[in-house]
Structure 1
Amino acid sequence: MSQDFTGLVAIVTGGASGIGAAIAKHLQDGGARVAVFDLQPEAATHADLAVAVDVADDTSVRAGVDRVAAEFGGIDILVNNAGIGAQGNVEANSDDEWHRVLDINVVGMARVSRAALPHLRDSPAAAIVNTSSIAATAGLPERALYSASKGAVAALTRAMAADHLREGIRVNAVDPGTADTPWIGRLLDSAPDPAAERAALEARQPHGRLVSADEVAAAVAYLASPAAGSTTGVALAVDGGMRELRLRPQSQ
């Protein structure tokens, strides 16, 4: 069942596909008016307003936030979901790629939050939810840059929660495990043996399958909901037990 977002206005960055699209749908189904920020806003299927916004560009971000506030009369919820992936160990990526990924995955969240804060302070139900990752808490092979960016998101979430709690703004994060998204699909397609790679990713998660976008979206909806009024500064894992469980191998 969807949370009740009747009368609330939400921004979802990266909301035109994958986890972001599922989040936008959950919020919209719950009664929120949803603005999607995306580089390809025409692809957004669950949006009351879709805006071309580049989270790596402050002018673009501020224009998008101002438009939402003007057209909808305020902002209550911000879901910082936009991000990009990266592969390889610490040797694999150039300085330029490190700067690009951190600029989008970390500073991008700061840019959108910074622009939205004046409007969130006026909301009686203000909430920010950041999309982090299991990579923030578990050492995954060939994910050095991506893990660094998501570890920064986890720390940023806690700091923002402390800074803005007394302003009435809750800040939380969701930590998906390996999710069945277009990005993972592209990684699988590029693998020498896509079926074997998918099986390995599924086996890595204790419940034995990839996480669905809808499962992540449901967690985001909970964290963003006024029903979660006493929940702030947490990272909710949606990873099939990957962060905390250590199961014994199954008997053959």
Structure 2
Amino acid sequence: MFGATGGIGAATAGLLAERGCDVIMTYRSRRAEADELADTIRALGHKATTQACDVTDRESVAAVVEAALAEHGRIHTVVSAAGLVFRTRPLIEFTDDEFADVIHTDVLGFFNIAKATVPALRAGGGGSITALITTAVDRTVPTDALSATPKAAVAMMMRMLATEEAANGIRANAVGPGVVEGGMVPPMRDADEATRDLLALAVEQTPLARLALPEEVAEGIVFLASTKASYITGQRLMVDGGLAT
């Protein structure tokens, strides 16, 4: 589980454990949150460990895979939910560093995860990779370029993996949340008026007229990762309250 300290990541890790998976959860800097989540999972009788990981560093990602194989013998489920919290604004107003940071974290990060985990999944007889993207890859949301642009690239890499690795028993899918109660949303409520208006507009344009709960998004991720979705690959499931329709 790459990226377990965010709202969706934590909910997904907990649900994977509840459904019977031994979970290795990564964090970049928020060790205390990751360790607390692992303690909670273990208290419920499940197995969970944590490990620091910078997904932009190939060796750091490889170390997570090596630890998983050493502890469990094989890998059957990979979830990519790592990402940055960033501000929203028109595309040309982002700085070079802001744009580069999300490209490195989201695009290069997912590439590194795929490079490290696909050989392990092949060796184990197959499995699944599920990537967290965004509903904005299907609906153009003004000022949301730093989310939609890199996640669109991740969605395409996911489709390539689904096509190329099907013969190896590997499925690849993606889940695109809409506006979620967690992550970037609390800071948006304390931001400038334009940002607050954008959040209100997103809720207004969502047919279900509310924010998603992290647990609702986690259900979609865990379903696609499970054997219940054994004939589903190369797909994008939008858990967005109808926002992209």
Alpha-carbon deviations, 1:118-145, whole Å to 9, x = none? Answer: 2111334500000010111111011123
Conserved? CA contact 2:56–2:104, under 8 Å: yes
Q: Structure 1 residues 148, 14: CA separation in 2 closer, same or farther (over 3 Å shift)?
A: same
Given the alignment of the two structures, is residue 165 of structure 1 paired with residue 154 of structure 2, yes or no? no
Is 65-74 or 225-234 further displaced after alignment?
Answer: 65-74
Q: Is the 8 Å Cα contact of residues 188 and 197 (structure 1) preserved in structure 2?
A: no
Q: Which runs of 5+ in 2 are unaligned?
A: 42-47
Q: Deviations along 1:168-227, whole A, 9 cap, x unmatched?
A: 000000011111113211111223398766543321211000011011000001000011
Contact 1:35–1:49 (Cα < 8 Å) also in 2: yes
Q: Indicate which of 17, 30, 43 corresponds to 2:19.
A: 30
Q: What corresponds to 2:239 in structure 1? A: 238
Letter in 2 for 1:63: A
Q: Bigger CA drift: 92-101 or 66-75?
A: 92-101
1:190 maps to what in 2? 191
Deviation at 1:97, TM superposition (A): 2.1
Contact 2:137–2:152 (8 Å) recurs in 1: yes
Q: Can you give the 5+ residue segments of structure 1 that lack an aligned partner in the other structure?
A: 1-11, 245-252
SS at match of 1:121: helix
Q: Which amino acid aligns with 1:234?
A: Q
1:100-122 Cα offsets, whole Å, 9 max, x none, are: 11110111011012111121113
Cα distance, 1:100–1:195 mapped onto 2, change above 3 Å: closer
Letter in 2 for 1:232: T
Deviates more, 1:90-99 or 1:18-27: 90-99
Q: Does the aligned pair in 2 maintain the 1:78–1:113 contact within 8 Å?
A: no
The residue number in structure 2 matching 1:127 is 128
Q: Which amino acid aligns with 1:220?
A: I
> Would you say the 8 A contact 2:61–2:112 is kept in 1?
yes
In structure 2, give the amino acid aligned to 1:83.
G
Paired residues in the alignment total 233
2:6 is equivalent to residue 17 of structure 1: yes
> Deviation per CA, 1:54-109, whole angstroms, max 9, x where unpaired?
11111211112111111111111100110124422221112222221111011101
- RMSD of equivalent CA atoms: 1.8
Q: Residue in 2 aligned with 1:69?
A: 69
**How far apart, in 2, do the equivalents of 1:146 and 1:199 lie?**
18
Higher mean alpha-carbon deviation, 18-27 vs 46-55, is at 46-55
Greater helix share, structure number: 2
Would you say the 8 A contact 2:85–2:183 is kept in 1? no
Q: Which stretch of the first structure deviates more once superposed, 177-186 or 195-204?
A: 195-204
Q: What's 1:42 paired with?
A: 32
Which residue of structure 2 lines up, in the alignment, with residue 174 of structure 1? 175
Secondary structure at 1:106 match in 2: helix
Alignment match, 2:94 = 93
**Equivalent pair of 2:205/2:243 in contact (CA under 8 Å):** yes
| Residues 194, 130 of structure 1: alpha-carbon distance in 2 compared, 3 angstrom cutoff | closer
Query: More deviation in 217-226 or 106-115?
Result: 106-115
**TM-score relative to the length of structure 1:** 0.87
SS in 2 for 1:173: strand
Query: TM-score under structure 2 normalisation?
Result: 0.89
Post-superposition offset of 1:229 = 0.6
